[in-house]
């Protein structure tokens, strides 16, 4: 019996978390091996490793506790990698030397795959005097462009993708340029942007007062606070950025406000961090802890929850000592405060199992109760660790207990901390869990509602065949297993049907007992009015949220399909979805497929070499195409292009690598021919064998096409090639966005503050 609840879960494990040797041979033969590897590595910190290894294993077993992806993939592999997902970097000095030292530190951190956050408010505004050089400052946005280029360079070098968060205070003189930066589609693509909004600013907005833009004590400009607020809102309405971070509220509630000031967050916003702070994340899978799901006695097992939280806290505390860090400052910061971020996933599924509608008052109350229980259990577990291993080095009992967040903690917990200290300065955070939620059986992500009950995905197998599989939400599948084809009850709701106020209500309910912050997307309908949109942010402020991220689908942010109103499906079935007219066609290709892994290359291949003599070129091109045999049929596997003409060297090498990479992924690769044959040379083409060929690349495409015909891969010239589909209706379950850059599926959507693929788990935020 497999431990995986769905095929997609096993595929995600194999792609992202399974430990493999350099040649691709699995070290983790089963998922149990993965759990054992993690448990063993985190238990080596203990005085009795074997005892704790077995206990840690029980926490990981059956996906009950889900460490963040970096821990799951890296722990116990002996690789020199960090187990921390993301960092806030040091404060940027307002000097050229200091700025580029910070850039160097960012590059070193991103090279190890860490997402990074920066506050650019410390750089003087554009046009300010630069003393000693008789020049004007270029401003923080010019340096953000440098960071953006660095991030692209690191990624192009083959490093794991990273993400960056840039923040700027609402009183910085360049704040208006910062707010509008994402209106330029080519600028700051590697950044998420958020405005640090202060209490004073919100008071000025509410009171329609003036607002000064200030740097280093100098007032550069004064404008109405509501005018600036409307600028933020309009940019977010149109481009989904910038987000809003209520920074004074974050600092006031911070358990460590007596030793640190926070001015930035990690890329998804759930971890406000001081300079050199790092995210250490993990999630309790609430969907796995419900007993008698959908029954009259359905409930979350409180004892199991407390026991699991205690083990998770101990494991996460051990990560601080087990992990490598890109920079020594990050190590020092982590060890001084031992901050962790324990959160949840599967919340919406757990609520459904209890018969509660996400967004209802009852669901909000239950969410608050569960997270209160987790907060109590985590703080008490950390007190027990302090008894055994000591409190975090910067612990000061009276200052700690006087912080905003700790004032609200239960008195018995406060007394335990006063008496024994606490091992971890902060303990709770709700992080994006898109990929690990898929890995855990497609449970609902974080505290988000269910996005789609089910959707179809095509998977390309190594033998060239395709399989189509349905990806079903965990709770929906459990309902089907228990009740068969019975219609889903009315309390089954998803992200598309909820009102924005319901989203905010759930975020606010969760925030009360989360001592860091929450990564949450508030989905807004495309036709929401601007005034109603602004009300969402004001509701977030009024109900105690620490920040707000919304997503309103449009032709810029990308939702190209919507549920058809003409054809209402039976409950529990996949509704019809129709394409919307949004200018440039972005209709999903009917045959877009997800490839499991590249085809393996045999030691020997059969092939053919072709000669192409382009007119006016001194030397001929020699094109070699080698084939692989799958299922008794030949298919192109790799291409080599050679010429004595050095003018062609660079582009022919690049072309052969790209085409070969496409061929080795399998599937219908005949589109390569179509793409090459469509390329024209503005200097003119040539007549070859009685036909006009628009470019030398088109000639190469013609050679590949003839080869495909000769081996029977396509039927004839111009046949078997992909073309844009003209289907009016496709059977999908929810609005679809842009194509995923990793797997090609049209499943990109905003989840937990980050564009994420619902099919393969690819995330802009790493």
Cite the active site residues.
266, 268, 270
Interatomic CA distance for residues 334 and 277, integer angstroms = 7
* Residue 646 backbone phi and psi in degrees, to 5: -65, -20
210 to 139, 207, 226: CA distances (angstroms): 24, 9, 8
Interatomic CA distance for residues 16 and 551, integer angstroms = 27
Spacing of C-alpha 410 from chain mean position:
34
Contact partners, residue 157, CB within 8 Å, separation at least 6: none
Q: Is 706 exposed, middle or buried (0-12, 13-18, 19+ CB in 10 A)?
A: middle
Name the one residue in this structure whose structure tokens are 């992200």: 495
3-state class (DSSP) for residue 167: strand
Write the DSSP assignment of 465-527 as a string of letters.
Answer: -EEEEEEE-HHHHHHHHHHTTPPPPTT---TTTS-HHHHHHHHHHHHTT-SS-B---EE--TT
* Residue 215 backbone phi and psi in degrees, to 5: -145, 130
Write out the two tokens for 215. 């740097």
Interatomic CA distance for residues 83 and 70, integer angstroms = 5
Length of the chain as a residue count: 766
Write out the two tokens for 103. 């850039």
Name the one residue in this structure whose structure tokens are 């066609």: 585
Q: Is 698 exposed, middle or buried (0-12, 13-18, 19+ CB in 10 A)?
A: buried
Q: Which helix (H) or strand (E) segment is 371 a member of?
A: helix 361-389
Write out the two tokens for 603. 């030691």
Interatomic CA distance for residues 696 and 700, integer angstroms = 6
Interatomic CA distance for residues 406 and 370, integer angstroms = 18
Q: Quick one: three-class SS letters along 372-399? A: HHHHHHHHHHHHHHHHHHCCCCCCCHHH
Interatomic CA distance for residues 499 and 516, integer angstroms = 26
DSSP letter (8 states) at residue 570? P
């Amino acid at each position: 019996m497999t431990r995986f609840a769905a095929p997609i879960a096993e595929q995600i494990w194999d792609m992202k978390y399974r430990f493999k040797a350099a040649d691709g041979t699995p070290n983790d033969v089963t998922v149990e091996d993965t759990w054992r590897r993690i448990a063993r590595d985190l238990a080596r910190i203990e005085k009795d490793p074997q005892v704790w290894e077995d206990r840690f294993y029980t926490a990981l077993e059956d996906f009950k506790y889900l460490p963040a992806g970096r821990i799951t993939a890296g722990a116990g592999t002996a690789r020199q990698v960090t187990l921390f997902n993301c960092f806030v970097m040091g404060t940027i000095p307002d000097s050229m030397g200091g700025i580029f030292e910070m850039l160097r530190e960012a590059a070193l951190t991103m090279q190890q795959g860490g997402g990074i956050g920066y506050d650019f408010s410390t750089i003087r505004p554009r046009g300010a005097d630069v003393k000693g050089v008789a020049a004007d400052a270029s401003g923080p946005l010019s340096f953000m462009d440098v960071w953006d280029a660095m991030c692209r360079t690191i990624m192009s070098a083959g490093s794991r993708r990273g993400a960056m968060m840039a923040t700027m205070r609402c009183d910085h003189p360049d704040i208006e340029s910062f707010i509008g930066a994402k209106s330029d589609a080519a600028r700051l693509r590697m950044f998420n942007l958020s405005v640090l909004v202060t209490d004073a600013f919100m008071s000025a907005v509410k009171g329609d007062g003036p607002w000064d833009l200030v740097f280093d004590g100098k007032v550069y400009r004064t404008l109405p606070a509501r005018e600036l607020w409307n600028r933020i809102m309009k940019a977010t309405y149109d481009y989904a950025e910038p987000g809003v971070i209520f920074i004074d509220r974050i600092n006031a509630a911070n358990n460590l406000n007596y030793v640190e000031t926070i001015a930035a967050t990690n890329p998804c916003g759930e971890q406000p961090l001081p300079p050199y702070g790092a995210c250490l994340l993990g999630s309790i899978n609430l969907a796995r802890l419900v007993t008698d799901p959908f029954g009259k006695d359905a409930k979350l097992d409180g004892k199991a929850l407390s026991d699991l939280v205690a083990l998770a806290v101990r494991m996460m505390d051990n990560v601080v000592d087990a992990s490598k860090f890109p920079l020594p400052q990050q190590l020092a910061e982590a060890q001084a405060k031992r901050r962790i971020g324990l959160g949840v996933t599967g919340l919406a599924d757990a609520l459904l199992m209890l018969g509660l509608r996400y967004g209802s008052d009852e669901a909000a109350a239950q969410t608050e109760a569960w997270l209160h229980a987790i907060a109590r259990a985590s703080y008490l577990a950390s007190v027990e660790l302090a008894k055994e291993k000591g409190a975090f080095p910067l612990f000061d009992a009276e200052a700690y207990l006087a912080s905003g967040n700790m004032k609200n903690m239960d008195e018995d917990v406060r007394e335990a901390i006063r008496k024994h200290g606490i091992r971890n300065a902060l303990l709770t955070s709700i992080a994006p869990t898109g990929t690990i939620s898929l890995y855990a059986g497609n449970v609902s992500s974080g505290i988000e509602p269910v996005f789609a009950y089910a959707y179809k995905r095509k998977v390309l197998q190594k033998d060239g065949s395709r399989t189509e599989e349905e990806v079903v939400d965990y709770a929906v599948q459990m309902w089907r297993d228990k009740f068969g084809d019975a219609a889903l009850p009315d309390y089954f709701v998803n992200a598309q049907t909820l009102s924005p106020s319901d989203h905010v209500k759930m975020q606010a309910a969760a925030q009360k007992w989360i001592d860091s912050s929450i990564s949450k997307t508030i989905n807004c309908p495309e036709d929401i009015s601007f005034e109603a949109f602004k009300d969402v942010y004001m509701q977030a402020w009024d109900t105690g949220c620490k920040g707000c991220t919304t997503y309103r689908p449009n032709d810029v942010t990308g939702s190209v399909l919507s549920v058809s109103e003409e054809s209402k499906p039976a409950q529990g079935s996949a509704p019809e979805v129709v394409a919307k007219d949004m200018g440039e066609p972005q209709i999903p290709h009917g045959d877009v497929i997800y490839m499991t892994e590249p085809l393996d290359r045999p030691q020997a291949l059969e092939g053919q070499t072709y000669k192409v003599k382009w007119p006016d070129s001194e030397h001929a091109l020699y094109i070699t195409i080698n084939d692989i045999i799958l299922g008794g049929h030949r298919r192109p596997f790799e291409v080599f292009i050679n010429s004595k003409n050095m003018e062609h060297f660079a582009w022919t090498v690049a072309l052969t690598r790209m085409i070969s990479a496409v061929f080795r992924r399998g599937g219908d690769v005949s589109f390569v021919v179509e793409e090459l044959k469509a390329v024209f040379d503005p200097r003119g083409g040539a007549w070859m064998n009685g036909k006009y060929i628009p470019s030398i690349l088109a000639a190469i495409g013609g050679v590949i096409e003839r080869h495909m015909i000769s081996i029977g891969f396509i039927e004839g010239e111009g046949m078997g090639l992909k073309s844009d589909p003209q289907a009016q209706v496709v059977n999908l379950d929810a609005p679809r966005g842009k194509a995923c850059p990793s797997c090609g599926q049209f499943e990109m959507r905003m989840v937990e503050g980050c564009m994420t693929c619902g099919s393969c788990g690819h995330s802009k935020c790493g």
